[in-house]
Structure 1
Amino acid sequence: MNVNDEDEMKALRIALQQRLEQLLPVGNQQDLVCEAMRGGTLAAGKRIRPLLLLLTAQDLGCHVEKPGLLDLACAVEMIHAASLMLDDIPCMDNAMQRRGMPTIHRQYGESVAILAAIGLLSRAFGVVAEANALPPGVKTQAVTELSSAVGMQGLVQGQYRDLVEGKQARSAEAILLTNDLKTSRLFDATLQMAAIVADAPVQARQRLRCFAQDLGLVFQLMDDLTDGVSGTGKDINQDNGKSTLVEMLGAEAVHQRLREHLRSADEHLASACDKGTSTRRFMRAWFDKQKAMFGLDWSLPEC
């Protein structure tokens, strides 16, 4: 990533943080749910999903400062933050650490964490509905994409499958389906929202769906490969006793799958976005950083 790209990413992250703070204002001192909502969303994070939405819309010919676009990106980040809160609570993964800090349920209690997650989900859909700069049809399509990604065709179904089947022997196909539901579907909604605002053609939207599926699987495979590694900001060895592709196939085979999905993702993204390469450069820089940090093995073609 060159200096101009780094400056652009810094500016977008600042804009996202400032808008999230506006959309999640400080409550009174006794309002722990409000505090937990802010804590789970405003804590330093990668912001991959909202940045993908902004950059993809730009690469599809939409100006990144188009009114309403930033609010859609913030709504995606709220949903992601809510999913992490629920994923971490004791009856789910019982995680102790997230983004290098104690998880929300450890800071505020399990009941507050659940209510904060519900509050964020509600707020996210409200933010989309209140984005007055966007045409009603765009907002309707955005809500449809987000609701599908969250519900029984997405995060909820994926988490349920992981809880019910995760400690049992399962096929590689079952693991991949769970990974797709837990991760790829929200990436898909994120990218489709970018395409909707940019009025992208059907062919580009389909390519973005393929990119999202590959990208989600890459993230899950990386998560499996780095489970025992410190420095991720999350608990280590969280997958002990869980059926994963690493446990089933071994690390080298998973590295090979990861490389294949990365190359496929890059090809789909290049095909979908023919007016710019900001998203590809951003993803390449991010994955190169992960490669260096955790000793992962892949290479990506130049943009």
Structure 2
Amino acid sequence: MTDFTEYAKALRARIDIALNQVIPETPNSQLAEAMRYSLASGGKRIRPLLLFAGYRATAGQQEHPALEIAACALEAIHAYSLIHDDLPAMDDDALRRGRPTCHLAFDEALAILAGDALQTLAFELLADTPGLTDSTRVQLIRSLSRAAGMRGMVVGQAIDLAAVDTELNITRLEHMHRCKTGALIDASVTMGALIGGASDQQLNILARYSRSLGLAFQVHDDILDVTADTATLGKQQGADLARNKPTYVSLLGLSSAQARAYELYQEALTALAELDGDTELLQRIAHYVIERRH
């Protein structure tokens, strides 16, 4: 493949263009503005990258027109979750990607509604995705809804909020993050593979990869929270420590957390070694996840 950095940059630009086109016209222009503010505000676009990589690992180089739409659905769910996580009743954050969070840029009620609208937009996009069988559309919707709901992000956030000022052991912490962060990462890879017509065996191998990768992503986030500055992160540095939230660094210490991230990275690569397909992009993404600086 071409240089990974250039590939990722080109795909981010492509998805950004697509995201600007999926916000429907609405009688309330402020609602659309708030949705677009959060959806098209940049970001690493890791989930679309994983979607395309999951497809490539099972279907080869030829792209499918459904990938771009599915990528927009993933980013809509991700943006909704960030809007709601940043609310005063949740994490009460003031910065997201170096800009005021949605409820500060607009107001709290409009931010909640923008999140709600982005969540439902994701499933509308998947339901209308062209070039797929009805069965595949249902599989995509099921995968994303499970990742976003009480089996994934929502329960992860509930556990996270309940964990403030409490002590979690490493097992409970990992469960929380497999739900809150890992579930959507897992869905990203799975959805790409489903569009690529993956077999059950391929899906199981990719699930092992994404399960390890999702946890590595969160471990590295916890490391960055104490090693990077606010300008680099695009959000408040040390926020978890200030809220007395359990993290991998607080439980394991910095060096052990770094070792855990590398261990999970190796687990992800070990899973990929069993897959008979083009896994180079998945490998590159895994390396990026534990080496990124923001």
**TM over 0.5, yes or no?**
yes
Q: Which moved more, 1:207-216 or 1:74-83?
A: 207-216
Matched residues in 2 for 1:278 and 1:94: separation?
35
CA drift of 1:174 comes to: 0.9
Q: CA deviation at 1:123?
A: 0.2
Secondary structure of 2:240's aligned partner = coil
Q: CA deviation at 1:3?
A: 5.2
Rate the CA distance shift 1:126–1:220 in 2: closer, same or farther, 3 A.
same
| Contact 1:149 1:155 survives alignment (8 Å) | yes
One of 278, 281, 284 as aligned partner of 2:281: 278
- Describe the superposition over 1:101-135 as per-residue Cα deviations: whole angstroms up to 9, x where unpaired: 11111101111111111100000000000112211
Partner in structure 2 of residue 40 of structure 1: 38
Aligned-CA RMSD value? 1.9
After superposition, the Cα gap between the structure-2 partners of 1:220 and 1:192, relative to the gap in structure 1 and judged at 3 Å, is: same
Q: Distance in 2 between matches of 1:54 and 1:159?
A: 27
Please tell me whether the aligned partners of residues 16 and 70 of structure 1 are also in contact (alpha carbons under 8 angstroms).
yes
Deviation at 1:8?
Answer: 3.0
- Where does structure 1 differ by over 6 angstroms across 4 or more consecutive aligned residues? none
1: CA distance, partners of 2:60 / 2:137? 16
How far apart are 1:273 and its partner, in Å? Answer: 5.5
Residues 250 and 287 from structure 1, CA distance in 2 versus in 1: closer, same or farther, beyond 3 angstroms? closer
- TM-score normalised according to structure 1 size: 0.89
Q: Distance in 2 between matches of 1:64 and 1:5?
A: 18
3-state SS of the aligned residue for 1:89?
A: coil
**Cα 1:110/1:122, change in 2 over 3 Å:** same
Match of residue 259, structure 1, among 262, 285, 288: 262
Distance 1:226 1:276 in 2: 27
1:165 is displaced (CA, Å) by 2.0
CA distance in 2, matches of 1:36, 1:3: 36
Q: Partner of 2:234 in structure 1?
A: 233
| TM-fit CA distance, 1:43 | 0.7
CA deviation vs aligned residue, 1:245-290 (integer Å, no higher than 9, x gap): 21122111111111110111122234335234122224324544x2
- Equivalent AA in structure 1 for residue 30 of structure 2: L
Match of 1:160 in 2: 158
Distance 2:50 2:16 in 1: 15
Aligned counterparts of 1:76 and 1:258: Cα–Cα separation in 2: 24
Using the alignment, how far apart are the partners of 1:42 and 1:111 within structure 2?
A: 20
* Post-superposition offset of 1:224: 1.2
Relative to the length of structure 2, the TM-score reads: 0.92
CA contact (8 A) 2:148 2:154 kept: yes
Q: Which runs of 5+ in 1 are unaligned?
A: 295-303
**Which residue of structure 2 aligns with residue 301 of structure 1?**
none
Contact 1:205 1:272 in 2 (8 A): no
What does the per-residue CA deviation read over 1:124-175, in whole Å, with 9 as the maximum and x for residues that have no partner? 0000001122111110000001111111100110000111123211211111
Tell me the equivalent position of 2:22: 23
Question: Taking every aligned residue pair, what percent have the same amino acid on both sides?
Answer: 34
Query: What's 2:211 paired with?
Result: 213
Q: Secondary structure at the match of 1:236?
A: coil
Q: Give the CA deviation at 1:232.
A: 0.9
> Could you say what secondary structure the match of 2:162 adopts?
helix
What secondary structure sits across from 1:264 in the alignment?
helix
Displacement of 1:68 after TM fit? 1.4
**Per-residue CA shift, 1:83-106, capped at 9, x if unaligned?**
111111111000111111111111
Q: C-alpha distance in 2, partners of 1:36/1:160?
A: 25
CA contact (8 A) 1:155 1:181 kept: yes
**With CA pairs under 8 Å and 6+ residues apart, which has the higher RCO, 1 or 2?**
2
Letter in 2 for 1:88: D
Tell me the amino acid that sits aligned with residue 242 of structure 1.
Answer: K
Matches within 5 A, 1:54-93: 54-63=52-61, 65-93=63-91
8 Å CA contact 1:78–1:124 kept in 2: the answer is: yes
Instruction: Give unpaired runs (5+ residues) of structure 2.
Output: none
1:188 matched to 2:189? no
Q: What amino acid is the match of 1:110?
A: E
